[in-house]
Chains A and B, each alone.
Chain A
Amino acid sequence: MSSHYKVLAHETFMEQFNDFLDKHTQSIQSLMAQIVGAAKDPLNFGKTMAGVQSSLLRGRIRRYHVSGRSGFRLICLIDTDHQVVMPVFLSSDVRAALKYDDIPWEDYAAQILDDLISERWEKFTVFTIPD
Chain B
Amino acid sequence: MKQGSQKHKRAPTCTIPADVFRRIYLYTIIGKFNNGVYGAVRLQKTAYISERNEHVVKPFSYKKHHFGEYSEQVDNIREQLISLGFVKALPLSTSLKFTIEFDGKSYDYVTGGNRYIISDTEIYELCKSVISTSYPKLLKSVEQTIDQYGYKKEEDLLKCCYDFDEFKDKKDEDVIFETDLPDWVEISDISDDVCDELTLMFTPSFINFVTMVTDGFERTTIEWEKVKKVVLPL
Contacts and interface: CB of A to CB of B under 8 A. Distances in A.
B102 to A, nearest CB: 24
Contacts of B211: 54, 56-57
Interface residues of A, number: 55
A60 B219 CA distance: 16
B17 to A, nearest CB: 5
A47 to B, nearest CB: 7
Interface in A74-109: 75, 77, 79, 82, 84, 86, 88, 95-96, 99-101, 103, 105-106, 108-109
Interface string B193-234: 100111111010111111111111101101110111111111
B213 A112 contact: yes
Interface stretch (B69-77, B117-125, B139-147): B117-125
B20 interface: yes
A32 B205 contact: no
What is the interface of chain B mostly: helix, strand, loop, or mixed? helix
Interface in B155-200: 192-193, 196-200
Interface residues of B, number: 48
Q: Is the interface of A mostly helix, strand, loop or mixed?
A: mixed
Given A77-B210, A95-B196, A128 B232 contact: yes
Nearest to B193: A69
A36 B37 CA distance: 47
A128 B216 contact: no
